[in-house]
A = this chain, B = another copy of it.
């Protein structure tokens, strides 16, 4: 599967980390996930484990939940 830096989670986390003036290393330390994982997250690796993602999201007060797909997303379904 192809990586997609523009996917919702990747974008969200790159943005939040920047705004918090944190490096990937710092975020890795603060959240307890591996540095490698932080990088894969931000580069849009497609297949991630939910609890690892949540471990990072939680640091920013967020969590993964099912939300209705946007028209935008629906349009891109056929990739």
Contact = CB atoms under 8 A, between A and B. Distances in A.
B46 A47 contact: no
Interface string A15-44: 000000000000000000000000000000
Interface residues of A, number: 25
Contacts of A8: 63, 65-66
A60 B51 CA distance: 22
20 contacts: A9-B64, A9-B65, A9-B66, A12-B66, A46-B50, A46-B51, A47-B50, A48-B50, A49-B49, A50-B53, A57-B66, A60-B66, A62-B66, A62-B68, A63-B66, A63-B73, A64-B64, A64-B66, A64-B67, A67-B67
